[in-house]
Every structure is written in structure tokens, then in C-alpha cells.
Amino acid sequence: MTNLRSNFEPGTSRWATRRAQWLALGLSDEDMIKPKIAIVNSSSQLAICFSHLDEIARRAKRAIERAGGVAFEVRTAAPSDFITSAGHRGGYILSARDLITNDIEVAVEGALLDGMLCLASCDKTAPGQLMAAARLDIPTIIVACGYQPSGTYRGRHCDIEDVFLAAGHVANGRLTVDELAEMSANAVLGPGVCAGMGTANTMHLACEALGMALPGSTPVRANSEPMWRAVEEASKRIVELVAAGLRPRDILTPEAFVNAVTTVLSVSGSINSVKHLQAVAAEAECGADVYRLFESLADRVPLLTAVRPNGEAPIEEFEDAGGTRAVMKQLEPLLEGGALTVTGRTVAQNLAGVAVAGEETIRPPARAFARRPAIVVIHGSLAPDGGIVKLAVADDRRLDFAGPAVVFGSPAEALDGVRGGRVKPGQVVVLRGQGPTGSPGMGMASQLVFALDGAGLTGHVAVVTDGQLSGLVNKGIVVGEISPEAARGGPLALVRDGDMIRVDVPARTADLDVPAEELARRRAALQAPPPADEVGWLSIYRRLVRPLPEGAVLREARS
């Protein structure tokens, strides 16, 4: 395969110096002309979600070599929501997604490697890897590296999100520290991503629905036989993919994004998938408007499964019922069957002959769990460019709310407000300054939502925020990721205590009931934000990040 971009003309300086480096690494002259595959590994000992990736990378390297390629392991940032969120108000979480993309570009494009096998784990790794694949447009396969086993607490299922939610109850005396410690000790029993249909499993599923992961490979138990089998098959296939010249932009078409959004809607996936898929579409330059797809497809796509926390089914039951491939089989009439995938075949060809192993867990559309959307994109005078509401599968609560605003400028201030009794039933809690620019990097609003739950205020207040929310659990009427964000002069910046706010989820609106003349007066009086105190990565991110409807990708603003 001498026409590979990684091969240089013998006798040139580039050829000679690269040969010297690689001979010293143990490669042979025969290896020098083989397909050179990057194994993209976001390994870290900081978090259990990444702790098993090194062994996966080792086995993938051997499998690529058996398939006739040469593998080079490259490392990226490895953000974990529960670990990396501690510093700088959580700003390193979403921003790390784009750091992963740029890490990959530096290593893979700098060395002119021929293909990538990306080991996807925690929330930001899969979208970051997909973004890099779309940007570099070299043959790529995403390998989902599995979810963690969960435990029990006093006879009931207990996972990491149960712990996250329960922590909101301690401050209000509804749970003791000892009880929370017991839950924490039993929630995670091994490596892998959060169990349940959170952001990580949703994005693994989206990789398969997009056609960028092998059919039948998501979701999967970490370190299980099916996971190792998928690693072996993907390692072989990536070498074939380089030979075939099948590139991500051949796969990441508008039709592929229709399939991904349809599949995410059908499983009540994480709301974080909206901005991540939009970011991938932006890097692919394919013209897909993911936010609009979530709006236009919402009423057409039935809810086919009820995986925790949206229902009672554990993620293991969903996998055993057939996982993503089974969902797509049930959805087949709604999918773009002609979309190409990393197998070299279309979605329709991949689904031919597929049987659903558990039709009580992954139901046919005729017996859907529900027919109203679980991810609702809303607009209105408070959210001109959109906001997102996540609903549970069996959500039968009233989905409209009106009340006076109580405004907070940071999660810490909001938590103090809950503890101090400043938040009262009937109010709309406004948490602003948490968007991609304002935080920067998007602050996490879920602690506030869980604290309200711990205070017994779920259902008695609503929340609107430009921050992001947990991909798994939300409580009550919560409108997240409002755009434009407050830091970019969005209407959220103009809200004052006592202003009437109306949220109507069925009507898909969030409105600020303040006269236009008063809003204009407030806008004229807005103070410039204080000078940013970041240096390094977050200062670069704040300067370059685009708004959420553009995927919050990093781009210089066009004049």
C-alpha cells in the first residue's frame, strides 16, 4: 500500500529521520510501508471510566498488527465529569471535549498517520473523537469501551448518579453523611462509564447510529467478551478501511445525523447529545442542523425503551435485548437506510436479518412506552436561540409553570440560596453566567437541581439556566442550555428578582414577561463583564468558543 500518505520518498530527509526514529522503536523496513493506525487512548488513573483503556490499547495494537497494519498509541486529555469538574467552576469539562479534538489533530495530522481507532469512554471522549475524525477526514472507527458494573444500597440498585442525586439531600437533613458514604462505597464496582442512559452511553449509541462504530457494538459491559470481540473486529476493519479509502465525511452526511437524532430520541438519551452532535456536524461541514432535527423529529419518534434513570430497565437489560442495533431495527421505517457506515455497507444492509432479542425492553413502535418527545427544544423571549428540557419516559406531571424569578449568578450562590430559604415554592430559579463563554466551559447546574430536590421543592419551582445539566438525571421543570447565554447578552442577563417567567413545555416556550421598553432600558444599563481571570487553556476557550446552536466549537468569530 505504497500510496499511503504516511509513506515518504526513500532518500528524502523526512524518510530518513522518520526511519531512524521508528527503527529505534523496533519497527522494520517492512513496517515502514504498512498502514499506520493511531490508537487514540484517553487513558487516566484519575477516574474509573478510563482505568481499563491501556489494556484495550495493547490488545488493539496486536490485532492491528495481525491485520497488516502498524499501530501507534497516542494519548489525549481524559476529562471525567465527577473528577475534572472540581477546578475552576467546572470549566474544564465541556472545554476538554475540544481539547481532545485538538490533541488528536496534533498527534495524528502532525505525523500524517493513515487511520484512527478511537477508544471512547467517558462523556467527552466520543464527541471529541468524532469531531477529530470529521475534521481530519481519515478512516476512523469509534470503539465503545463499555459501562461500569453498579452495586446495591440496602437492597436497591445504586449507581453513580444515585450518589450524585442523593448528595443534594444531605444538606437538608434528608440523608445522613454516613448513609451517603455507604451509597458511595457501593455504587461503582468496576471500570467503565456511568451505567444508565447518560451522556456516555448515549454518545456511544450515537456513534453506532451515525455509522462510525461497528453494528452491535453499543452499549457494552466493560471488559466483557462482547467488548473484546468488538475491539478485535474494529482493529481488523480499520486496516481494511484505510485500504478502501472510506472516510468519515463519506459517512457523516445529513442522513447520518437524521439516524443519530432519531435513535437518541427513541431511547430518551442525554440532552448533552444535542450540542455534541451539532459540534460533529460542524466539523464535518455537512450542513446538518442538529437542533432543528431534534425539533422536527421529536413528535414522529416513539419512545421504545425505558432505561434507568428514564425508567426501571438497567442498561444491562438494554444491551441483552439487542442494544443500539435492535433499536435501529425497530425504527427502520423512520431511518435513512441508504446512509453509509464503517462496514462499507448501508444502514439498511447492516439491519437486514437483525432480530430484537427482547421486545419488552426494546419495544416495537406499535407498543411504544410513549409518543411524546423526551428531549424538547424550546424557544421564546427568554430563549430566542433555544433551550432544552429533558423529560422522563413516564413523566405525567404538569409541564407548564409560571412564577416570579429569583436570580443567582453562580452555582455556589444558588446553593446558599436554597439552604438559606431564599428559594420558595412558586418561584422560577434563574441560574445564569454558566454558558460556554460565561463560565467559561459551561458550568454544571445539576447540583442546584438536586439541592432543590433535597429541599422538597421539586415540582414546586422551575429552573431556567444557561448552564448544562446531568446527562442522566433531571428533576422537575428544568430548562437548560438557554441560548444566547447571559454572557453574550442573552435575555437571561436582563432578568431581575420578581420578574414573571412562564415555561410551557407542551407549547415549547420560555418567556420573560417584562415590557420591551423596560428590557431595552436594562440592556442599555448592562455593565461590561469584569476582566477574565483565566490564563492558559480556559482563556483560549473563552475567546474562541461559538454559541451552543453552533455546537460550542472553537472558531474565530467571522467579521
Rounded Cα gap, residues 150 and 498, in angstroms: 43
Which amino acid type is present at position 234? A
CA dist., res. 130 & res. 21, Å (int): 30
The single-letter DSSP state of residue 340 is B
Q: What share of the chain is helix, strand, coil (3-state, %, to 5)?
A: 40, 15, 40
Q: Give yes or no for a contact between 104 and 76, defined as CB atoms under 8 angstroms apart.
A: yes
Distance from chain centroid for Cα 238:
24
CA distance 153 to 311: 18
Angle between helices 199-210 and 323-330 (to 10 degrees): 60
Catalytic one among 42, 270, 273, 470?
470
Cell numbers 490508537: residue: 39
237 and 307 Cβ atoms separated by less than 8 Å: no
Residue 470 annotated in active site: yes
Write out the three cell numbers for 22: 521508528
User: Does residue 266 sit in helix, strand or coil?
Assistant: helix
Cα Rg of the chain, angstroms: 24
Can you spell out the DSSP letters for 399-430?
-EEEEEEEEESSHHHHHHHHHTT---TT-EEE
- Given CA atoms 9, 14, 20, 24 in this order, what sign does their dihedral have? negative
**Do residues 122 and 49 make contact, with C-beta atoms less than 8 angstroms apart?**
yes
The H helix count followed by the E strand count for the chain is: 21, 14
* DSSP strands (E only) in 500-546: 500-504, 509-513
Dihedral (CA of 360, 362, 367, 372) sign: positive
What residues are annotated to the active site? 470
